[in-house]
């Protein structure tokens, strides 16, 4: 059996690693010391709380409680995605809908295919993985929408003036934003196993699972994230791009 | 007497707390050629954008062909009232991408013959069709943009200083094409700084500090 216990003493030694990052930031005048300290404190508190919460949820094994945990994950993911929208109206609701559909569709398909079982120890971590990847994809798609609507403004105005609908006006921008949202997932799918041994697979190997079995899970995760990021960024972009226009079909300033 | 194509009644535009147009009232008859002049920043382009529905007036009313402008479906309106920018931005990769766009938005298929005919009108060769837009000169870009506006004959053509910066030959071509459309019934409303264009104006409106200053018949 693998030795999987990290003792508090070992964690204390790991703090030395944070100190290295702090010293680099301080010596190089990067100015990230405050963020690093906040990050460390938040990580410790959040992970400790989630550790206890997950232990409880897995122990009681109730569907309602599992779904509540998934809902909290999705809510937080949507809130974070909204933070990257840079003023796009209704970004929270759009993100919430996109992440909810992306997560639930993927989870339902995986459960129906019996790839995972509807039990908290599987549903909660998989939902977290999907929601966080969808969140990153949507955040990137929002950033792409914002920069394209700024940089390509004249071309968009001309399309409107020629009598194009909003969809005909923005279709190139929409496609590029969805592509941008999905690109990290597609890129990592291309290099998985060559550059990185991703979390799911590493965790299983850590826990003593045969690597040939662990890769099966990782393949499933790769496919699932492709589906989730494409669903999430497509929904988010299609709901977000009309927000750049006013009801008179003019570009907002 | 035909019903005016445009009637503007006390039109005003305030944008970001700044007054751009105040109390603009005039009418335009179908088939008229109206030239609008005035100093830079006086509100000429703003007025043209109001006529094109690319800017909504904050006060007053605009009537188009007997109906309030605001009651028109915007895409249908903009296909009838075509606005051409001063420094047009061509999109896509090639000239073809730009000329097929008006067909694409109407769900129609463009033939090469239609596209090269549009280029020929602007004194541009058929080989230009697949030329990358980054290789075009300023004059070529302006002519491709105008061709894009004229592929489907508009009822009204709004021109925002489209001849600014063009050489004499290109300017002549553009004037000839616009006159040709005007003769065939298109109403033309053109903003210009060009002394020559102002001198031969059929009807001249002058805008100063957001107000209509002179109406010369």
State the CATH number of the domain containing residue B179: 3.40.50.300
- ipTM of this complex > 0.85? yes
Subunit contact A155:B75, Cβ cutoff 8 A: no
In this predicted structure, the answer to whether residue A24 has a pLDDT above a threshold of 60 is yes
Provide the pLDDT confidence category of residue B214 given band limits of 50, 70 and 90: low
Residue B99 lies in a domain: yes
CA distance A5 to chain B (A): 58
Burial bucket for residue B20 (CB in 10 Å: 0-12, 13-18, 19+): buried
Residues ≥6 apart with Cβ < 8 Å to A122? A116
Q: Helix, strand, coil: what percent of chain B each, to 5?
A: 35, 30, 35
Q: Do B75 and A164 touch (CB under 8 A)?
A: yes
Residue B1 inside a domain? The answer is no
Q: What is the 8-class DSSP label of residue B208?
A: E
How far, CA to CA in Å, does B128 sit from each of B110, B116, B120? Answer: 16, 8, 10
Q: Does residue B116 sit within a domain?
A: yes
pLDDT level of residue A1 (50, 70, 90 thresholds): very low
Pseudo-torsion of CA A145, A150, A154, A155, nearest 10°?
Answer: -20
Q: Is the pLDDT of residue B216 over 70?
A: no
For chain A, the domains span 1-60, 63-244
A249 touches chain B (CB under 8 A): yes
Note whether A72 contacts B: Cβ–Cβ < 8 A.
no
The two counts, helices (H) then strands (E), for chain B are 7, 10
Q: Which two three-digit tokens encode residue A13?
A: 């030694």
Distance of CA A119 to the CA centre of its chain: 22
Chain A residue at shortest CA distance from B149: A162
| B51 found inside a domain | yes
C-beta separation of B38 from B213 below 8 A = yes
What is the tens place of the pLDDT at every residue in A45-82?
A: 999 998 999 999 999 999 999 999 999 999 999 999 99
Count of helix runs (H) and strand runs (E) in chain A? 9, 0
Which strand (E) or helix (H) includes residue A81? helix A63-83
Average pLDDT, chain A: 91
Residues of A in contact with B52 (CB under 8 A): 161
Q: Do B74 and A172 touch (CB under 8 A)?
A: no
Tell which B residues from 150 to 209 touch A, by Cβ distance under 8 Å: none
Q: How many domains does chain B have?
A: 1
Domain that holds residue B133: 6-216
SS3 B120: helix
Is position B189 within any domain?
Answer: yes
């Amino acid at each position: 059996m693998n030795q999987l216990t990290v003792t508090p003493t070992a964690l204390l030694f790991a703090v030395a690693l944070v100190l290295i990052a702090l010293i680099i930031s301080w010596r190089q005048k990067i100015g990230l010391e405050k963020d690093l300290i906040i990050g460390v404190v938040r990580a410790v508190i959040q992970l400790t709380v989630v550790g206890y919460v997950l232990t409880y949820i897995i122990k009681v094994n109730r569907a309602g409680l599992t779904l509540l945990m998934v809902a909290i994950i999705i809510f937080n993911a949507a809130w974070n995605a909204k933070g990257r929208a840079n003023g796009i109206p209704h970004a929270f609701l759009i993100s919430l809908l996109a992440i909810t559909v992306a997560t639930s569709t993927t989870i339902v398909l995986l459960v129906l295919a019996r790839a995972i079982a509807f039990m908290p120890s599987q549903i909660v971590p998989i939902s977290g993985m999907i929601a966080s990847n969808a969140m990153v994809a949507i955040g990137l798609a929002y950033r792409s929408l914002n920069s394209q609507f700024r940089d390509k403004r004249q071309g968009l105005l001309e399309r409107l003036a020629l009598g194009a609908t909003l969809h005909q006006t923005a279709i190139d921008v929409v496609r590029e934003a969805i592509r941008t949202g999905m690109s990290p997932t597609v890129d990592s799918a291309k290099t998985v196993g060559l550059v990185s041994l991703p979390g799911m697979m590493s965790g299983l190997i850590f826990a003593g699972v045969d690597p040939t079995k662990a890769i099966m899970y990782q393949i499933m995760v790769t496919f699932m994230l492709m589906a989730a990021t494409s669903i999430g960024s497509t929904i988010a972009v299609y709901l977000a791009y009309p927000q750049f226009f006013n009801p008179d079909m003019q570009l907002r300033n | 007497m035909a019903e005016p194509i445009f009637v503007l009644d006390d039109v005003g535009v305030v944008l970001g707390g700044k007054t751009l147009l105040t109390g603009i009232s005039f009418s335009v008859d179908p088939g008229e050629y109206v030239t609008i002049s005035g100093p830079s920043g006086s509100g000429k382009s703003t007025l043209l954008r109001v006529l094109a529905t690319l800017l909504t007036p904050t006060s007053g009313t605009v009537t188009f062909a007997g109906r309030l402008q605001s009651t028109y479906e915007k895409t249908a309106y903009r296909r009838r009232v075509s606005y051409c920018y001063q420094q047009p931005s061509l999109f896509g990769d090639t000239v073809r991408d730009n000329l097929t766009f008006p067909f694409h938005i109407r769900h129609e298929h463009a033939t090469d013959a239609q596209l090269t005919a549009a280029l020929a009108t602007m004194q541009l060769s058929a080989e230009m069709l697949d030329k990358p837009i980054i290789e075009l000169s300023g004059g070529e870009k302006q002519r491709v943009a105008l061709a894009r506006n004229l592929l489907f004959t508009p009822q009204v053509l709004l021109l925002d200083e489209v001849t600014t910066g063009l050489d004499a030959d290109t300017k002549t071509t553009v004037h000839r094409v616009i006159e040709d459309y005007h003769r065939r019934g298109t109403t033309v409303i053109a903003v210009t700084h060009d002394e020559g264009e102002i001198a031969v104006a059929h009807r001249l409106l002058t805008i100063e500090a957001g107000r209509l200053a002179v109406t010369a018949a």
